[in-house]
Chain A
Amino acid sequence: MELPVKTFRITRADLVRYAGASGDFNQIHWSDRVATKVGLPGVIAHGMFTMALVGRAVTEWAGAPDAVVEYGVRFTRPVVVPDDDEGTEIEVRAAVKGVTEDGLTRLELTATCQGEKVLAQARATVRMA
């Protein structure tokens, strides 16, 4: 079963706010100069910011903020965030893959940016409300 698609807009301002809240001040998340110097196309979102947005989608689907029992992802492609008001957008999808012996629901997750997958092996186990 597929759950309704969720989309999240990401701007530079979001990255600055996330850097402050998380304590991850790696310059590739706010400086084009540093990002391009290390071979990136430009400033990229923190992988953990993308994971947090997908986590938000998971808790919203599950219907409870404390529903997540297990959650893991692999970061496969950077989310490039242009320096404009539009920023970029990620689309998050989930498919219900089954129910564990303990009655928990297993979700298989997909996150795409500009049509490309940015996560692999993205899975969550949740207590559905």
Chain B
Amino acid sequence: MPLDPSFVGRSYPPTAPYQVGREKIREFATAIGATDPAHHDPEAARALGHPDVVAPPTFPVVITMAASRQIVEDPELGVDYSRVVHGDQRFAYTRPVVAGDELICVNTVEEITARGGHDFLTTRTDVSTPAGEPVVTVWSKIVVRGEG
């Protein structure tokens, strides 16, 4: 069943704050082989003007992927997750994520299209601090492959 295009523009309630840990950033940086000291050593990060270790550019997906389950698991929308393939991914940063950040996600359905029997769902996640400071906006397009 195709995804209902009337969901476009729908925003979901803000997620509970995610506490960005220094060890989580180090773990993520290690997993992708990012050895720059600013990902690991708070002093090196401070020398660049940051309050604590700096997350690599794709780190926000750790937070936004979990947050966007609000949309992909919305029973009304009805995405069949077993048929989902990752299509596009984009990040636009106001500033890098750093350890100590508390981050809140607001998910919005930005686009729903259908082509060749497949559905395409683009979500936008606006990531900000509890004080409302924007940090990064993350777009993700998933493809829900048609049956047969």
Q: Which chain A residues have a beta carbon within 8 Å of chain B's beta carbons?
A: 8, 14, 17-18, 20-24, 38, 47-49, 51-53, 55-56, 58-59, 64-66, 68-75, 121
Contact = CB atoms under 8 A, between A and B. Distances in A.
Question: Chain B interface mostly helix, strand, loop or mixed?
Answer: mixed
Contacts of A53: 32-33
Interface residues of B, number: 33
Interface string B24-42: 1001101111101011000
Interface stretch (B9-17, B51-59, B99-107, B109-117): B51-59
Contacts, number: 99
Interface stretch (B71-79, B87-95, B123-131): B87-95
Contact of A70 (B34, B39, B87, B91): B91
A26 to B, nearest CB: 9
A65 to B, nearest CB: 4
Nearest to B98: A66
B28 A121 contact: no
B48 A70 contact: no
Contact of A66 (B28, B33, B88, B96): B96
A17 B48 contact: no
A75 B86 contact: yes
Given A23-B62, A23-B66, A59 B34 contact: yes
A15 B28 CA distance: 12
Nearest to B50: A66
A71 B89 CA distance: 8
